Chains A and B, each alone.
Chain A
Amino acid sequence: MRTLFLKTLYDKRWFTLGWSLGIVVIAWMVILFFPSLSQGFDVDQILQKLPAQLQGLLGDVSSFNTIDGYITAQLFDVRLVLFILIMGLVLGQNLTVGEEDQGQTRTLAASAYSRGRILWEKWLAAVCIMGLAALAAAVGTYLGILSINEHMNHTLIWQLTLMGWVFGVTALSIPMMIGFATGHKALTMFVGLVVTAGSFILTTFGKNVDWLEVPERFSLMHYFNPSLVAKDGLPVDHLLVLGGITLIMLALGWLAFRFRGLRA
């Protein structure tokens, strides 16, 4: 273990394995339901009975007719996105304020590691972990498709995987950089939860509530739109927004972490 990057990956091996396996299983299970849901009952009829404001919670139900549409809307759009947000929050919080609270950041700072290097190597390791989680979504999807003997557009799977990774990196960078910048556990959790829960509420309700149209643009989930990916390919503007947020958070975290005192 020569670097903090490798040490972080080693430290988080069970976390990574657990979340990745969980995502594989969820993706696989969601796809197993496709044959029943697409043929067993009238989805449109169920949808019409739901209040418009709640229809967003189910995703785009009209897409149940095709495997591409089903996976896009039911797996990536509703479930995986939430998993990625929560995973990013837990990982970002754990690698920063969690370790600082235990005094491990002080031990690192006593070595010849610069503050900047501590931040970059931990962040890069976290980016790789999010990449493995996104990859797990693709693996689960392929397993599911094979299990029900269906065929799917491979390009779409990899585009959604890539989009999920970029989204995951942004979702991770927000709490992680707040943690690095402040060292404050409660503040990091608060901001992380506001971003996670706020995004989920704004986007799920925003799809069918008119007055949420503008506020919904402040939701992180607005920029992870699998339906848009299925329709037009990778949305460059959304990728740029997610990349921009990540870069701004990195810059803020780096600047503040270099100058502040450690808490424990």
Chain B
Amino acid sequence: MATIKVSGISKSFGNTKAVQEVSFEVEKGEVVGFVGPNGAGKTTTISMVMGFIRSDQGSVNVFDQLVQPYSAHRTHARIGFASGDMALFNNLTGKQYLNFMAHTVEAKPVARETLIAAFKPVLHKPLKQLSRGNKQKIALIGAMQHEPELIILDEPTSGLDPLMQDVFLDAITKAKHRGATVFMSSHILSEVASSCDRVLFMKHGQIIMNRDVNELEKQQGKIIVITAPTETLELVAKELPKDAVEMQKAEHTVRFRYTGEVKPLLAWLSKLTNLEDATITRQDLDDIFHNLYQDEEPKV
């Protein structure tokens, strides 16, 4: 039984199709990243998973229960939710907020104290007086203080500094080790790469890729950059190895992605003369993201 099962959901706002026939599953104990540029439909999808809004078609099941706005709360005691722009209750202090949220679920005081010790939030001041980062810490503690079976996060680290991002990743790792399922959207791809088992890429309201993170990086291959005199580069560009794709030629370099085995690549490299430099790097999620969303990147 999948912890989250999304089947063919769509959602439009007026003439804008925010989400189009999206389907995916998140299994128990998995940490799944949800990646895409702004406006790809990630938050709308998460809103339907949480039961904040209804889908125009399709269905969402969480813990095998159909999610609807009127019934979503039945599973929420088992879910921890936080978003980067979460509106906390400004008149309460951080401590009051955490107490209030804890009373709606089965409180785990030890887990809460551990999170407070790690994140070190300001708890005694009214939330309206706190910085975005401090509010974000409190939202994350609120989402994880009851050790939920499922953690759903929407851009969870957008207000955190790099040190706190590490604390957050540590908390996610601990949650994974105790068997929790995590589903989180993020813009920070290194965060997804280091914490997630699988990643869903979303574009124009549709899932365009759904892969295991390690497998994805392997499948996407390596980035090869050859530096040589212009005449040598002319030859290199004409006789690329068999599995080379996406070649880009500049004045002194040729850059391409290689998806084949390593031996033929090394053999090809050894045949090249006049080389000034050659670098081979594994393609990471950043490169994959740029390849997938190239047409959406702002033009300088």
Task: Assess whether B69 is in contact with A258, with CB atoms less than 8 Å apart.
Answer: yes
Say if the beta carbon of A7 comes within 8 Å of chain B.
Answer: yes
Say if the beta carbon of A155 comes within 8 Å of chain B.
Answer: no
Residue of A nearest to B51 (CB): A109
Q: Give the contact stretch, choosing among A112-120, A163-171, A245-253.
A: A112-120
Residue of B nearest to A6 (CB): B100
Interface flags for A244-264 (1: CB within 8 Å of B; 0: not) read: 000000000000001111101
How many angstroms from the CA of A162 to the CA of B87 in the assembled complex? 37
Task: Assess whether A111 is in contact with B70, with CB atoms less than 8 Å apart.
Answer: no
Task: Assess whether A111 is in contact with B76, with CB atoms less than 8 Å apart.
Answer: yes
Contact among B68, B101, B103 with A3 in the assembled complex (CB-CB below 8 Å): B103
Residues of B within 8 A of A261 (CB): 47, 52-54, 69
Interface flags for B252-295 (1: CB within 8 Å of A; 0: not) read: 00000000000000000000000000000000000000000000
Task: Assess whether A1 is in contact with B99, with CB atoms less than 8 Å apart.
Answer: yes
Say if the beta carbon of A231 comes within 8 Å of chain B.
Answer: no
B48 to chain A, nearest CB (A): 9
Residues of B within 8 A of A110 (CB): 50, 52, 76, 79, 81
Residues of B within 8 A of A260 (CB): 54, 69
Q: Range of interface residues on chain B?
A: 20 to 34
How many angstroms from the CA of A109 to the CA of B88 in the assembled complex? 12
Residues of B within 8 A of A53 (CB): none
Residue of B nearest to A101 (CB): B87
Residue of B nearest to A109 (CB): B52
Task: Assess whether A2 is in contact with B54, with CB atoms less than 8 Å apart.
Answer: no
Residues of B within 8 A of A104 (CB): 87-89
Give the residue among B68, B70, B81, B86 with the most A Cβ atoms within 10 A: B70
Say if the beta carbon of B96 comes within 8 Å of chain A.
Answer: yes
Within 8 A of A (CB), among B45-70: 47, 50-54, 68-70
Task: Assess whether A10 is in contact with B91, with CB atoms less than 8 Å apart.
Answer: yes
Known: A1-B92, A7-B89. Is A106-B103 also a contact (CB below 8 A)?
Answer: no
Task: Assess whether A106 is in contact with B52, with CB atoms less than 8 Å apart.
Answer: yes
Within 8 A of B (CB), among A1-31: 1-3, 7, 10-11
Residue of B nearest to A118 (CB): B73
Residues of B within 8 A of A103 (CB): 85-87
Known: A111-B105, A259-B69. Is A106-B92 also a contact (CB below 8 A)?
Answer: no
Known: A11-B91, A258-B69. Is A107-B100 also a contact (CB below 8 A)?
Answer: no
A107 to chain B, nearest CB (A): 6
Residue of A nearest to B48 (CB): A261
Contact among A1, A107, A259, A262 with B86 in the assembled complex (CB-CB below 8 Å): A107
Say if the beta carbon of B40 comes within 8 Å of chain A.
Answer: no
How many angstroms from the CA of A109 to the CA of B68 in the assembled complex? 12
Task: Assess whether B54 is in contact with A259, with CB atoms less than 8 Å apart.
Answer: yes
Residue of A nearest to B81 (CB): A110
Residues of A within 8 A of B73 (CB): 109, 111-115, 117
A104-B88, A112-B104 provided; 15 other pairs, C-beta below 8 A?
Answer: A1-B99, A2-B103, A7-B89, A103-B87, A110-B81, A111-B73, A111-B76, A112-B76, A113-B104, A260-B54, A260-B69, A261-B47, A262-B52, A262-B69, A264-B87
Say if the beta carbon of A102 comes within 8 Å of chain B.
Answer: yes
Residue of B nearest to A116 (CB): B70
Within 8 A of B (CB), among A86-133: 102-104, 106-107, 109-117
How many angstroms from the CA of A92 to the CA of B210 in the assembled complex? 45
A237 to chain B, nearest CB (A): 36
Residues of B within 8 A of A259 (CB): 54, 68-70
Residue of A nearest to B53 (CB): A261
Residues of A within 8 A of B77 (CB): 112
Known: A113-B73, A114-B73. Is A7-B100 also a contact (CB below 8 A)?
Answer: yes
How many angstroms from the CA of A117 to the CA of B87 in the assembled complex? 19
How many angstroms from the CA of A262 to the CA of B51 in the assembled complex? 9
How many angstroms from the CA of A3 to the CA of B99 in the assembled complex? 10
Residues of B within 8 A of A115 (CB): 69-70, 73
B109 to chain A, nearest CB (A): 15
Say if the beta carbon of B72 comes within 8 Å of chain A.
Answer: yes
How many angstroms from the CA of A251 to the CA of B157 in the assembled complex? 40
B169 to chain A, nearest CB (A): 22
Give the residue among A2, A102, A109, A258 with the most B Cβ atoms within 10 A: A109
Within 8 A of A (CB), among B84-140: 85-89, 91-92, 96, 99-101, 103-105
Task: Assess whether A111 is in contact with B101, with CB atoms less than 8 Å apart.
Answer: yes
B251 to chain A, nearest CB (A): 51
- 18 pairs from A and B in contact (CB 8 Å cutoff): A1-B99, A10-B92, A102-B87, A103-B85, A104-B87, A107-B86, A109-B50, A109-B72, A110-B79, A111-B76, A111-B104, A112-B73, A113-B76, A113-B104, A115-B70, A258-B70, A262-B47, A262-B53
The 10 nearest A-B residue pairs measured at CB: A103-B87, A261-B53, A258-B70, A112-B77, A110-B81, A114-B73, A112-B104, A111-B104, A112-B76, A262-B52
B197 to chain A, nearest CB (A): 24
